Structures are given as C-alpha cells and as structure tokens.
C-alpha cells in the first residue's frame, strides 16, 4: 500500500497544501509547532476516521474557517483510490471514496492502513489497560471491517445497559434482554482479540529479539474471558454477568465484559507493565508496533504505511539504527526536528509555519 498524494485545505494550520510522497522513506523536518505532526495526523485520520490527538473534530478546522478538507490518493496493488474527507463547523462530516459518499465509517477501514508510533504510543506498555485495548482494537479494525462493526454494536449495547442501571429501574428481566445481546457480541470480540494476540506474539517476540540484540524474550498474554469456541466464551460471560448482577445494580454500571480486558506484556518472565524499566517498555512498545506492521503484511499481502512521529529522540542509537534497518523498503512518514542518519534515501520535506516544501536530501540541513 502506497500513499501517493495528500492535499490539505484549512486543516489545522494548513491553508492549502499538496504533498507528493515517495514510496519509501519520507522525512518531514523543522522546528516544533510548525505543522509536522498536523500533517501526520491528517494521514492517520484517513486511516481510522478519527484524530489521534483530540475527540473534538472541530479543532481540526483552521481558525475562522467553516470547513476543512483532506484529500488523498492511495494505491493498493494495481488499484488506486481517491479519498475526500470534509469536516464542518455546523454539520456532520462527509467521507467519499472515489467520489462516492460512504454511509458507514467501517467502509473506511483498511483503505489507508497505517501503523502509528509516537511518544504517546510508547506509553502503551505502562499506561492504563484502555490504551492497550485501543491498540488491539485499532489493529483489528484495520484488518477486519466485521470486527469494527461488532465493536460498535457492543459499545452501543453496553451504553444502553449502563443507562438502564443508572436509571434505578433495572431488574432481572430488563437486564436479561441486554445481557443476551452483550454476550453475543462480546464473545465474538473476545475470540478475535485472543486470536490476534496469539498471532501477534510470534512476530513481536522476533522483533523484540532483534531490537534487544537477542538479550530479551518478549511474551504476550490476553487477559480476558477465553475459551475454545464462541459458545464456551458466551457461557463464561453469561455466568460472570450473573455473578456481578447485584454489584452492577448497586453501583450503576457493568463490571464484567470486554471493556475490562488487558494485554499482559512480559520480558524474560517479568510483567513490564509495572516492573519494567523505561528502556524495556520503549523497546517492547516498538516491538508491538513492528509486529503490527508484519501481521498486516502477513494477512493482507501488503505493508501498511508506517507513521513515526518524533520517536527517534526517544530511542538510543542502537535501537534507532535497528529501526531504520527494519523499515527499509516500507513507505514511512517520519517527523523530526533534525535527522542525523546517512544513506537513508527517500524524500525530505521542510515544514515551516504550515508550509511544506520538498528539499534535496543533501541540502536538507
């Protein structure tokens, strides 16, 4: 998968900007607060249909403007697609693929597949379980539209069940209606998550061994309700909901379900979510991200676009060089204040106050 062109109009601090990307490494450099991450954010938005930095989409629209546009051309194999996203101050956004409006955001999943690695993503290991669930969900949504829709249905059902619990009108019969639906979607999601972690672990283990010079062994474990089949998982989920019924009624929310899942990450047998050094956590996070890239290629037959937002400053020299070796041949968008590596190749772009200008690599600094 290759992102060939991006056009921004009134997006963040860009008035009107067109960027022609290379199929390999694309380095966007410049001082802080000039718009490097804004550009990368636009690419990520086309991938997952939301910002990686804010839940308020109106913040993506340039100050004093009514509408922002992101347009792009992406090529997958021999097929080329054109995307057009319009964000408005006063009405709902629109998304078009090849000039045809889409009615559901799930149709956007996988059209521009990306893997993001940023300073915030480094915290995936030490942060809250919700961050690790988000990592799993975004990865799976890009691999499977069915997963995206199942997750959306589950979240809506969970919201309805919690609303009923908070109302004080919940009883055994009314909750049973929502429990059946919650378990049906939850079992499907839990089975998908467990399978994903199992497939990801093999690739993450190999990447971690590479990044740590074979000094560390990484293991992953899905912490949630598991079983050999969806039916077995459903039975366990139903039993757990019944077990928590009194507590749910008393406290006004659902205590069990996939919304409590977590991913255990261990290095040499130690759970590094709590007991790992900062260096171990960074390396593990990078291993997960590189495994995400490899898994997408394994299952889809092509690589996603890799987005590296100011991460080289977070890694030591050895891991920087190993990362660069690993991404050789992938389409990568790198943002940084300065880039010290030789013989990387690719294209260079200088970002200054919402303006992106291609520059010759030899004269970039």
CATH of residue 287's domain is: 1.20.1050.90
Say whether both 47 and 186 belong to one domain: no
- What pLDDT does 341 receive? 65
- What pLDDT does 343 receive? 61
Domain around 24: 1-113+304-365
Lateral strand order in the sheet of 218-223: 218-223, 262-267, 270-271
Say whether both 172 and 279 belong to one domain: yes
The answer as to whether 29 is a domain residue is yes
The answer as to whether 119 is a domain residue is no
- Count of domains observed in the chain: 2
The answer as to whether 120 is a domain residue is no
C-alpha to C-alpha distance for 125 and 46, rounded to whole angstroms: 26
Average pLDDT rounded to a whole number, residues 201-222? 95
Which pair of structure tokens corresponds to residue 270?
A: 């130690």
Say whether both 170 and 275 belong to one domain: yes
- What pLDDT does 232 receive? 97
Say whether both 246 and 319 belong to one domain: no
- What pLDDT does 356 receive? 97
Average pLDDT rounded to a whole number, residues 314-324? 84
- φ, ψ of residue 75 in degrees (nearest 5): -120, 130
Q: How sure is the predictor about 359, in pLDDT bands with cuts at 50, 70 and 90?
A: very high
- What pLDDT does 244 receive? 95
Say whether both 175 and 53 belong to one domain: no
The answer as to whether 121 is a domain residue is no
C-alpha to C-alpha distance for 81 and 47, rounded to whole angstroms: 13
pLDDT above 70 as % of the chain: 98
112-116, 227-231, 337-341: which range is least confident on average? 337-341
The answer as to whether 123 is a domain residue is no
Among residues 334, 314, 326, 126, the alpha carbon closest in space to that of 208 is found at: 326
Say whether both 176 and 107 belong to one domain: no
pTM above threshold 0.85: yes
């Amino acid at each position: 998968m290759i992102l060939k062109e991006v056009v921004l109009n009134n997006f963040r601090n860009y008035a009107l900007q067109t960027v022609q990307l290379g199929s390999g490494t694309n380095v966007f450099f410049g001082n802080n607060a000039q718009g490097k991450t804004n550009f990368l954010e636009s690419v990520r938005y086309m991938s997952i249909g939301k910002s990686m930095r804010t839940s308020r989409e109106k913040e993506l629209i340039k100050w004093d403007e009514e509408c922002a546009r992101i347009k792009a051309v992406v090529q997958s194999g021999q097929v080329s697609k054109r995307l057009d996203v319009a964000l408005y101050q006063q009405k709902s956004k629109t998304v078009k693929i090849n000039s045809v409006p889409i009615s559901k955001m799930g149709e956007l999943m996988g059209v521009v597949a990306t893997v993001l690695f940023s300073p915030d993503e480094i915290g995936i290991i030490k942060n809250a379980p919700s961050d690790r669930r988000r990592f799993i969900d975004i990865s799976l949504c890009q691999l499977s539209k069915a997963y995206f829709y199942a997750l959306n249905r589950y979240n809506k059902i969970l919201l309805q069940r919690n609303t009923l619990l908070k109302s004080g009108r919940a009883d055994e019969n009314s909750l049973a209606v929502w429990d059946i639906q919650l378990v049906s979607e939850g079992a499907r999601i839990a089975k998908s998550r467990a399978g994903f972690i199992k497939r990801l672990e093999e690739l993450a283990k190999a990447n971690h061994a590479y990044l740590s010079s074979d000094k560390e062994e990484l293991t992953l474990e899905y912490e949630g309700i598991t079983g050999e089949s969806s039916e077995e998982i459903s039975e366990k989920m139903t039993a757990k909901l019944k077990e928590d019924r009194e507590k749910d009624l008393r406290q006004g929310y659902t205590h069990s379900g996939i919304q409590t899942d977590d991913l255990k990450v261990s290095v040499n047998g130690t759970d590094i979510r709590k007991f790992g050094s900062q260096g171990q956590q960074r390396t593990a996070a990078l291993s997960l991200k590189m495994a995400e890239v490899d898994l997408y290629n394994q299952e889809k037959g092509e690589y996603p676009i890799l987005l590296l937002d100011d991460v080289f400053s977070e890694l030591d020299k050895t891991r920087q060089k190993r990362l660069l070796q690993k991404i050789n041949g992938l389409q990568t968008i790198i943002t940084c204040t300065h880039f010290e590596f030789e013989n990387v190749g690719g294209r260079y772009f200088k970002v200054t106050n919402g303006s992106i200008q291609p520059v010759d690599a030899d004269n970039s600094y």
